C-alpha cells in the first residue's frame, strides 16, 4: 500500500511521454477518421516538453510536478486537447500538493481532473469525448479506494475502466468537439481523446506498480 509521491509523478510523466510518442501515429489516425488528424502529434509534442520541464525542475510534491505538466501542456498543445488536459492536470495538482497520496487521495485527484475537463469542455458522459474514459475511471477508483485497495491497485482499476470506456465510444455519435461536425458519420470510430486518456491512466498505473 505504498503511497504515491513526487518520484511516482515523475515516473508517470516519463511513461506517459513514452506511450504518447510510441502511439503518436495511432492516435493521429483515430483523429484523422473523425477530426483533423493531429491528436498524436499534439500530445507527443506536449508531453515531450512537459517531461523536459519536470526533469529540469526540483518539484518535490505530486502537485508540483502535475502543475508544471499543466502549464507546459497549455502552452505547447493547441486545439481542444491542450486546454482540456491542461485544466485536468491543474485541478489534479491543486488537490495533490502533498508529499504522499493514499488510495482515497488517488480518487480525489482523478475526480478533480475530470471536473476540470468538464468545466472546460462542458461535455456530458456519452458525448463521445475523453469524458467517456474519465467518468468510469473515477467511478472505478472510488470503488477500489472504498474497498481498501492500494493506490497502485486503485490506479489500475481506473486505467482498466478508462480503456473499456474508450472502446465504448466506438458506437457513439459525437456531440462535442470537431468530431461532432460529422454527426452520424462519427459512429464506428473510437474517440482519440478517450483513447489517449486511457493510455495516460495506464502509464500512471504502471508507474505506481513499479
- Give the interface with ligand ADP as residue ranges (CB under 6 A): 31, 35-36, 38-39, 42, 79-81, 84, 117, 121-123, 129-131, 176-178, 191-194
Alpha-carbon torsion angle 41, 78, 129, 144, nearest 10: 80
Q: Which is nearer to Mg ion, 38 or 139 (CB)?
A: 38
Q: Please state, in angstroms and rounded to a whole number, the distance separating the CA atoms of residues 133 and 198.
A: 6
* 44 interacts with, out of ligand ADP, Mg ion, none, CB within 5 to 8 A per kind: none
- The interface partner of residue 81, options being Mg ion, ligand ADP, none and the CB cut-off 5 to 8 Å by kind, is ligand ADP
Which of 36, 60, 99, 210 touches Mg ion by CB under 5 A? Answer: 36
In the list 26, 41, 79, 102, the residue contacting Mg ion (rule: CB under 5 A) is 79
**Smallest separation (angstroms) from Mg ion to the CB of 37:** 6
Rounded Cα distance between 159 and 15, Å, is 14
Q: Which is nearer to ligand ADP, 164 or 178 (CB)?
A: 178
**Residue 58: CB atoms within 10 Å:** 6
- Give the cell for residue 19: 506511450
Q: How far is the CB of 40 from ligand ADP (least distance, A)?
A: 9
Q: Pick the binder of Mg ion from 11, 35, 87, 161 (CB under 5 A).
A: 35
Least distance to Mg ion, CB of residue 139, Å: 27
Name the packing angle between helices 81-94 and 192-209 (round to 10°): 30
11: Cβ–Cβ under 8 A, 6 or more apart, which residues? 207, 210
State in angstroms the smallest separation of the CB of 98 from ligand ADP.
28
d(CA 42, CA 17): 12
Alpha-carbon gap, residue 196 to 202, rounded angstroms: 10
Q: Which residues bind Mg ion (CB under 5 A)?
A: 31, 35-36, 38-39, 79
Amino acid at each position: 500500500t505504498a503511497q504515491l509521491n513526487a518520484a511516482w509523478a515523475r515516473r508517470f510523466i516519463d511513461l506517459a511521454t513514452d506511450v504518447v510518442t510510441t502511439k503518436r501515429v495511432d492516435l493521429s489516425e483515430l483523429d484523422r477518421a473523425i477530426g483533423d488528424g493531429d491528436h498524436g502529434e499534439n500530445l507527443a509534442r506536449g508531453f515531450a516538453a512537459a517531461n523536459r520541464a519536470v526533469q529540469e525542475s526540483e518539484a518535490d510534491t505530486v502537485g508540483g510536478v502535475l502543475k508544471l505538466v499543466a502549464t507546459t501542456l497549455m502552452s505547447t498543445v493547441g486545439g481542444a486537447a491542450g486546454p482540456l488536459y491542461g485544466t485536468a492536470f491543474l485541478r489534479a495538482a491543486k488537490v495533490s500538493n502533498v508529499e504522499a497520496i493514499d488510495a482515497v487521495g488517488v480518487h480525489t485527484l482523478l475526480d478533480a481532473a475530470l471536473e476540470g475537463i468538464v468545466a472546460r469542455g462542458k461535455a456530458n458522459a456519452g458525448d463521445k469525448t475523453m469524458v467517456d474514459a474519465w467518468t468510469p475511471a473515477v467511478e472505478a477508483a472510488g470503488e477500489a479506494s472504498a474497498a481498501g485497495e492500494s493506490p497502485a491497485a486503485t490506479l489500475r482499476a481506473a486505467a482498466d475502466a478508462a480503456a473499456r470506456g474508450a472502446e465504448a465510444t466506438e458506437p457513439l455519435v459525437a456531440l462535442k468537439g470537431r468530431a461532432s461536425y460529422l454527426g452520424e458519420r462519427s459512429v464506428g470510430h473510437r474517440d482519440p481523446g478517450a483513447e489517449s486518456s486511457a493510455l495516460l491512466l495506464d502509464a500512471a498505473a504502471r508507474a505506481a506498480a513499479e
